[in-house]
Amino acid sequence: MTKNNAVSAFILGGLLCLGMVLLGNTIGDKLIKMKSMERTVTVKGLAEKEVRANIAIWPIRFTEVDNDLDSLYVNVQTKTDKVAAFLKQQGFDESEITISLPAIDDRLAQGYSDPNVKYRYSARVSLSLYTDKIDLLLSARTKMLSLAKEGIAISDQDYNSKAQFLFTKLNDVKPEMIQSATQNARQVAEKFAKDSDSKLGKIKKAAQGQFSINDRDSNTSYIKKVRIVSTLTYYLND
């Protein structure tokens, strides 16, 4: 090997070593940065909102008894018409009222006779009100006693006769509630970062929970509580 070749080989070897050192430092810096990026905090953000129901379904039921079937049918029709007229007087449209066929039982046809049963025939009558006039329905329920004067005993205490209130406008409140849940989660994450002498970074991962809609309480079922919980994971920086 000539002197010039030896010098060239020495210089080339030196450059390769220097390159390996620089490459190693660069990879090391990146690994350190990647490791620091692995520091995260996962928090949950809650958003709740009270809303009024916008749809109501009110089943109205009463029972009529008689020993004569023809008389029973006449009385059922008369009292059904009175209930429907009452609802219209309160301000509801005919299209909001549905009348079902009465369910009639012949107690003698059941194969046994109870001496305590005074009437042979019993008719269970059902009407249903489907409306978006929530305040009107609440007002009408307080006036149902007037039907008792017509000999119509409306029961609203059993489960099947209770008015059902629905909130169907979830899409109207979704954006606002998702934003509120995200802000709540960030506040929790910032508190954690501050307490751990860190700085809050960008969001690594976010998961939105399901919306739930429940009655605020048993006495005001027309007021609903909408709830959403979002889970977010943030990076932590020094």
- What DSSP line would sit under the chain, residue for residue? --HHHHHHHHHHHHHHHHHHHHHHHHHHHHHHHHHHHT-EEEEEEEEEEEEE-SEEEEEEEEEEEESSHHHHHHHHHHHHHHHHHHHHHTT--GGGEEEPPPEEEEGGGGT---TT---SEEEEEEEEEEES-HHHHHHHHTTTHHHHTTT-----SSGGGS-EEE---HHHHHHHHHHHHHHHHHHHHHHHHHHTT-EEEEEEEEEE---EEEES-SS-TTEEEEEEEEEEEEEEE-
Q: What is the pLDDT of residue 8?
A: 55
* Interatomic CA distance for residues 112 and 109, integer angstroms: 8
Q: What is the pLDDT of residue 14?
A: 52
- By CB atoms closer than 10 A (0-12, 13-18, 19+), residue 38 is exposed
- What is the phi/psi pair of residue 187, to 5°? -60, -40
The SS3 of residue 155 is coil
The SS3 of residue 224 is strand
Q: What is the pLDDT of residue 32?
A: 46
pLDDT single digits (tens) 36-89: 557 889 999 999 999 999 999 999 999 999 999 999 999 999 999 999 999 999
pTM value > 0.85: no
- pLDDT lower than 70: segments of the chain: 1-37, 110-115, 155-159
